[in-house]
Amino acid sequence: MGNVDQGPPSASPRRWPWFVAFAGFVALVGAAGFRAAPSVLIDPLHAEYGWSRGTISAAVSVNLVLYGLISPFAAALMERFGMRRVVACALLLVGVGSGLTVFMTSSWQLLLLWGVLVGTGTGAMALTLVATLTSRWFVRRRGLVSGLLTAGSAAGQLVFLPLVAMLATRYGWREASLAVALAALGVVPLVLAFLRDHPRDVGTTAYGAGPEDASDDAAPPQQQGGSAARAVRVLADVVRNRTFLLLAGGFAICGASTNGLIGTHFVPAAHDHGMPYTTAAGLLALVGIFDIIGTVASGWLTDRMDPRVLLGVYYTLRGGALVLLPQLFAPTTEPPMWAFVIFYGLDWVATVPPTVALCRQWFGHATGPIVFGWVFASHQLGAAVAAFAAGAARDQLGTYDVAWYGAGGLCVLATVMSLRIRRAPEREPSW
């Protein structure tokens, strides 16, 4: 087993699962910082360079695609090299990519920096980190911790979005990008200090583990081939699995209706109706506050209820809210918009804990995180399509209304797909 890494002197072995969970949470907050920037930088970039919203949205789409497609490979990299190394390198990449945007002068540089570098860095963490960390470090409270970690993305939005909007309005978008870069880099020391790969590394066991869970703490079997090959083999094994296809399809719609649409276009859509950028950004940050509450509650419910039913309820409620949204925009924040923000915030990424749970139930503790990585890749593909399509629709039609109605209809389809998932078998399949 080698030498046990004792870490900081104050970190007793039984507290390590919570130290690791905290480090993962903060890392996800850092990664979310630049993910929150696009919605408040679209119009400043359009004003300075004259780039169309479709062009800028294309960069957002590249970011979202890589944010998802890197995810399953990141899970395999974490399996091979460890969470700490992968997350630290990912945060460095986010910081470099966002910092270099201040020097860009043409749209291809936007695609490279905002799209490729930052998309790759954030994708190397994303929600794959949630699945990997909870599988290794928790037996009890897995659903609750999944909710807490997923809420890290909402917390990042909460922390950074008003700041980004204020900096972009008062000083310019370059200062906003630099602030996000410095914040992402500032998380690296904490990750190096507290994030550990396995309980055995610090001489402890997973939280709530009993004798029957001893195999979960054992060293993982040596994988044949590289991390990329491992991720591709898992995809080849599950791509015809009915449960995988239903989860991936529903999660693609989840991404389209959150990151792709609301996350990218809510602020410019609200501004179209006369609302100031800072006010709209504040509303989107408020979504982040209630997202924390909703996601943690969803994790608690996932420990106690059928995750398939939870997904069906979440998608139904989300679809209804999106259909109503076009009637709620106004120059000021009226009570109906406050109600939408609260309601949508509670539902924003509440879908993650039950989806992680279903991947674990169907595909096992070792392979489940990689499977979830591919499911999350579909989430980001859906987000990328929605981000580009909504921007193009706004350029052509002068309104976002068709995007809101279309997303509402897709959520109904996601409800049907979620409820058609069969109950997981008693014995987890080996892929």
Separation between Cα atoms, residue 291 and residue 286, nearest integer Å: 8
Residue 250 has pLDDT above 70, yes or no: yes
The dihedral through the CA atoms of 58, 64, 69, 70 has a sign that is: positive
Helices (H) and strands (E) in the chain, counts: 20, 0
Give the pLDDT band (50/70/90) at residue 406. very high
Instruction: Identify the pLDDT of residue 166.
Output: 82
Q: Report which listed range, 136-150, 233-247, 255-269, 285-299, is most confident.
A: 233-247
Confidence band of 2 (pLDDT split at 50, 70, 90): very low
- Whether residue 311 is predicted with pLDDT greater than 70 in this model: the reply is yes
- Report how far apart, in Å, the C-alpha atoms of 215 and of each of 12, 136, 152, 205, 342 are: 22, 11, 29, 11, 42
Query: Which two structure tokens, joined as six digits, stand for 308?
Result: 């398939």
326's enclosing H/E stretch is: none
The Cα–Cα gap between 82 and 388 comes to 34
Domain assignment present for 137: yes
Q: Is the model's pLDDT at 344 over the cut of 90?
A: no
d(CA 319, CA 331): 24
For residue 173, is it within any domain? yes
pLDDT score recorded for residue 354: 93
Find the helix packing angle between 83-100 and 53-81, rounded to 10°: 160
Average of pLDDT values for 49-75? 80
Output 102 or 76, whichever has higher pLDDT. 102
The reported pLDDT for the residue numbered 227 is 64
Instruction: Specify whether the CB–CB gap between 245 and 372 falls below 8 A.
Output: no
Tell me the C-alpha to C-alpha distance, in Å, between residue 142 and each of 17, 299, 389.
11, 8, 36
Residue 103: pLDDT over 80: yes
pLDDT for the residue numbered 316? 94
**What is the rounded distance in angstroms from the CA atom of residue 344 to the CA atom of residue 358?**
23
Quickly tell me which residue has 């068709």 as its tokens.
Answer: 402
Residue 46 confidence (pLDDT): 83
**C-alpha to C-alpha distance for 298 and 285, rounded to whole angstroms:** 20
pLDDT at 288 over 80: no
Please state, in angstroms and rounded to a whole number, the distance separating the CA atoms of residues 105 and 349: 35
Q: In this prediction, what percent of the chain has a pLDDT beyond 90?
A: 18
Task: Quote the mean pLDDT of the chain.
Answer: 82
How far CA 137 is from CA of 77, 325, 390, 422, in Å, comes to 17, 40, 40, 27
User: Comparing C-alpha atoms, which of 285, 281, 257 is closest to residue 351?
Assistant: 257
CATH number for the domain spanning 307: value is 1.20.1250.20
CA distance 36 to 127: 16
pLDDT 10s digits, 205-232: 888 876 555 444 444 444 445 567 888 8
Q: How confident is the model at residue 431 (pLDDT cuts 50, 70, 90)?
A: very low
Beta carbons of 276 and 143 less than 8 angstroms apart: no
More confident residue, 38 or 297: 297
pLDDT at 31 over 80: no
Residue 424 maps to a domain: no
Q: Which carries the bigger pLDDT value, residue 23 or residue 8?
A: 23
Cβ proximity of 349 and 295 under 8 Å: yes
Q: Indicate the SS3 state at residue 207.
A: strand
Query: Domain for residue 8, yes or no?
Result: no
Three-state secondary-structure class, residue 138: strand
Handedness of CA 90, 96, 102, 108 (dihedral sign): negative
What is the token pair recorded at 190? 């904490």
152 in a domain, yes or no? yes
Give the mean model confidence (pLDDT) for residues 324-349. Answer: 88
How far apart are alpha carbons 348 and 346 in whole angstroms?
A: 6
Indicate if the pLDDT at residue 256 is higher than 60.
yes
Q: What is the mean pLDDT of residues 93-121?
A: 87
Is the CB of residue 348 less than 8 Å from the CB of residue 50? no
Confidence of residue 36 (pLDDT cuts 50, 70, 90): low
pLDDT of residue 254: 93
Ranking 123-137, 242-256, 305-319, 405-419 by mean pLDDT, the lowest is 123-137
Indicate if the pLDDT at residue 1 is higher than 80.
no
Contact 196, 7 (CB under 8 A): yes
Q: Is residue 291 part of a domain?
A: yes
- Residue whose C-alpha is closest to residue 40's, from 221, 172, 212, 182: 172
Which residue range(s) make up the domain with 122?
A: 13-200+227-419
- Token pair, residue 393, equals 């629709």
- Which of the residue ranges 30-44, 254-268, 364-378 would you say has the lowest mean pLDDT? 30-44
Residues 6 or more apart whose Cβ sits within 8 Å of residue 105: none
pLDDT of amino acid 306: 93
| Secondary structure letter of residue 222 according to DSSP | P
Predicted confidence (pLDDT) at residue 4 exceeds the cutoff of 70: no
Indicate the range of 120-129, 192-201, 321-330 predicted with least confidence: 120-129
| pLDDT at residue 413 in the model | 96
Top-confidence residue, 349 or 210: 349
The secondary structure of 44-80 as a DSSP string is HHHHHH---HHHHHHHHHHHHHHHHHHHHHHHHHHHH
Residue in this structure with the two tokens 């970011």, named with its chain if needed: 63
Structural domain count, the chain: 1
Instruction: Quote the CA–CA distance of 270 and 264 in Å, as a whole number.
Output: 12
227 vs 400: which has the higher pLDDT: 400
- Is pLDDT of 427 > 60? no
**344 lies in some domain:** yes
Q: What is the pLDDT of residue 75?
A: 77
Residue 160 resides in a domain: yes
Residues forming beta bridges with residue 138, ordered by sequence position: 207
Helices within 196-334 (DSSP H only): 214-217, 227-238, 242-255, 262-272, 277-302, 307-324
Better-scored residue on pLDDT, 404 or 349: 404
pLDDT(146) > 70 = yes
Residue 409: pLDDT band (50, 70, 90) is very high
